[in-house]
Amino acid sequence: MKSDQRVTLYGFPGSCSLIIMIALEEIIWSFDVVIQNLIGDEHVKQPYPAINPEGRVPALAVDGNILTEIPAILLYIAESEPKAELLPPLTDPMKRAQVMSRVSWLASSALAACNQLAQPGNTCVDITLHPWVKKSALQSIKLDLMFVESEISDEGYWFGDFTIADIFVFFIHDFAGRCGVDLSAMPRLCNLAMRIGTRPAVIRSVDWTIWASQTLALTK
């Protein structure tokens, strides 16, 4: 990181912006956080639509350059600090591609289902169908996590060494648990999430999330 580099993360506590915060903490970058209140309507009012016209979080600004979409942001972070080894080395292009494949898959499948669960109105305007949307999303998340369970081992991380794929699945696992997904049939995944949760970068990010959530609650 350049000494004069300005990094800003736009996010909301409890949302998938936690994924990017953990990655930034892993590479030990200094960054500011701007909270976009997803419960209110801050994310659809200026100036945020100028940053991300879709009004979604997270977004990352680096010296005025904007990145959106989690796979792209994670790739940028990992490649900006290769010594952090959040991706396999360039000498192993197949394994790098496999990690990015899983990151892209999580974004398009499990995370999309998480968004449907949190905001069913974005999927279906008919509120009478929202229970069905949520039920379908819960089932989709569970199936995706069962697939991850089938790929991981009892020790280490998803691809052996810690990567951005582990950060992503940590959030999906945490979100699923908070939403009542039965994780009892996924012991390897639960143990993986526990190992990830002991990393200092994760602890700092989760602590910030708790603090920010409490602060927002007090300002209501």
Q: What is the pLDDT of residue 44?
A: 62
Distance between CA 199 and CA 150 in Å, rounded? 23
φ and ψ of 66, to 5 deg: -105, 135
| Domains, the chain | 7-84+201-218 (3.40.30.10), 93-199 (1.20.1050.10)
Chain-centre distance of CA 75, in angstroms? Answer: 13
Residues in the chain: 220
Q: What is the pLDDT of residue 119?
A: 84
Q: What is the pLDDT of residue 125?
A: 86
Residue with tokens 């379908």: 136
Per-residue DSSP letters for 100-140? HHHHHHHHHTHHHHHHHHH-GGGT-S-GGGHHHHHHHHHHH
Answer whether 114's CB lies under 8 Å from 141's CB.
yes
φ and ψ of 142, to 5 deg: -60, -45
pTM assigned to the model: 0.94
Q: What is the pLDDT of residue 200?
A: 98
CB neighbour burial string for 181-209, b if at least 16 within 10 angstroms, e if fewer? bebeebeebeebbeebeebebbeebbeeb
Strand arrangement of the beta sheet that strand 32-35 belongs to? 32-35, 7-11, 59-62, 65-68
Counting as low any pLDDT under 70, the low residues of the chain are 2-3, 40-46, 218-220
